């Protein structure tokens, strides 16, 4: 499990308008590129001082590559990061106010307490 890395993906994409659009249009390609080029970049450090050990599990990579936010919830990705980024990706496709947010809730309606642990 690399919940931290899932969160790092969601966080770094969410704060970059170009990456938000790229992830919307080409999720699998964006995840492949990000894991190769960005996963080991320590934020706020020069690129040469990168980490060497961070990578997704196959399940995590597939969840991100398929925009599968119920799976991300199940894997313990931080619910706030997932929600914020996916609103940016898909709210625009719904006519009604909160249309996407309510569908998001319905797609998680099978979840029971306690929710998956988000500790990193």
Partner 1 sequence: MATVAAVIASTHHPFYYRASTSTGADRPPFADEWVAKIEAFRETLTRARADVLVMVGSDHFHQLWLDNMPQFLVGKAPFYDANWYNEEREFGLPRMFVRGDEELSAHLLREGMDAGFDLAFSNELRIDHSLTCPLITLRPQADLPIVPIYTNIFAPPLPQPKRFVELGKTIRQLVESWPSDKRVAIIGTGHLSLELGGPRQFGPHGPDPEFDRKAVQWIASGDLGSALAEVSLESLWLPGNATHGFMDFMLMMGVAGENVKADYTDSLDLFHTMEAYFTWYPEAAK
Residues lying near partner 1 in the complex (CB under 8 A)? 4, 7-8, 11, 14-15, 17, 42-44, 73, 78-84, 87-88, 98, 101-102, 104-106, 108-111, 113-115, 118-120
* Shortest reach from residue 41's CB to partner 1, in Å: 11
Q: Which of 72, 14, 52, 93 is nearest to 22 (CA)?
A: 14
Q: Rank residues 41 and 62 by Cβ distance to partner 1 and give the closer one.
A: 41
Angle at 62 between CA 71 and CA 18, to 5 degrees: 95
In this structure, what token pair is assigned to residue 94?
A: 């719904």
User: Which residue's CB is nearer to partner 1, number 62 or number 108?
Assistant: 108
Name the minimum Å distance from CB 69 to partner 1. Answer: 8
- End-to-end Cα spacing for the chain: 10
- The least distance separating partner 1 from the CB of residue 75, rounded to whole angstroms, comes to 13
Q: How far is CA 42 from the centre of its chain?
A: 18
């Amino acid at each position: 499990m690399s919940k931290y890395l899932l969160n790092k993906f969601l966080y770094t994409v969410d704060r970059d308008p170009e990456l938000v659009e790229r992830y919307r249009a080409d999720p699998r390609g964006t995840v492949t590129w990000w894991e190769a080029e960005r996963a080991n970049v320590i934020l706020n450090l020069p690129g040469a001082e990168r980490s060497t050990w961070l990578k997704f599990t196959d399940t995590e990579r597939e969840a991100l590559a398929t925009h599968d936010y119920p799976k991300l919830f199940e894997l313990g990705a931080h619910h706030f990061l997932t929600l914020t980024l996916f609103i940016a990706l898909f709210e625009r496709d719904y006519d009604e106010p909160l249309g996407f947010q309510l569908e998001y809730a319905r797609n998680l309606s099978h979840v029971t307490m306690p929710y998956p642990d988000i500790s990193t």
